[in-house]
Amino acid sequence: MEQFAYIRVSTKEQNIDRQLAAIEPYQVPAENVYCDYQSGKDFERPAYQALMKRLSEGDLLIIKSIDRLGRNYNDILMQWQCITKEIRADILVLDMELLDTRERDGNLTGTLIADLVLQIFAYVAQTEREFIRQRQAEGIAAAKARGTRFGRTPIAMPEEFDRLYAEWTAGRISTRSAARKLGVSHSTFYRRCRAKMEKDQKSVSDGTLEDTE
């Protein structure tokens, strides 16, 4: 049986000393300490992938906290299952005593408790994400009801827009020429023309288009 340690920080500017100090009492050989300097958004990390190739049945993987393994609890659950059930190695999370899959007193209590605790963490994390999305949606709806507008403020078109729009729809002027006369980009002019066309078409279908004659 070998002992391994996994350390992760988001950038090379961040310090790994705290995590190294935490695993020091376990005397993990230097060649068995793997460290990634990148985000925990997924598990496509070079050091982690190299660690997984070496991890074998009966080995122990030590990490300081569960978020060093990853940020997404659903992904963490999949990796946890892979390590403990497929590879059949153990995991010890130093910051949480219950996340320790090693056998205790000759039984599987450690594995059962650790699996259950991690499942609860995953459920709580997923529920909190859903609550956050719900609160955001409710906040946006309430703000819209109060008249708050979201997104960039549309560029105000000069008074000549309607005349140039009419010339553009008649094919007497190009998009770039019209935009240049108005002092806006051709993409801005084109978007406003499209918006006006859609508004006019909707007015026709609703029977609300004003009589221009």
pLDDT above 80: residue 129 = no
**119 contacts: CB under 8 Å, gap ≥ 6:** 77
pLDDT per position as a tens digit, 56-115? 999 999 999 888 888 778 888 888 989 999 999 999 999 888 889 887 665 556 777 888
CA distance 64 to 91: 11
In whole angstroms, what separates CA 204 from the centre of its chain? 43
pLDDT above 90: residue 12 = no
Sign of CA dihedral 31, 37, 42, 45: negative
Residues involved in catalysis: 10
Mean local confidence (pLDDT), 156-185: 84
Is the pTM of the predicted complex or chain greater than 0.75? no
**Predicted confidence band of residue 149 (pLDDT cuts 50, 70, 90):** low
pLDDT per position as a tens digit, 79-90? 898 999 999 999
Q: Please report the pLDDT score of residue 123 as a whole number.
A: 75
pLDDT above 70: residue 204 = no
Q: Please report the pLDDT score of residue 212 as a whole number.
A: 38
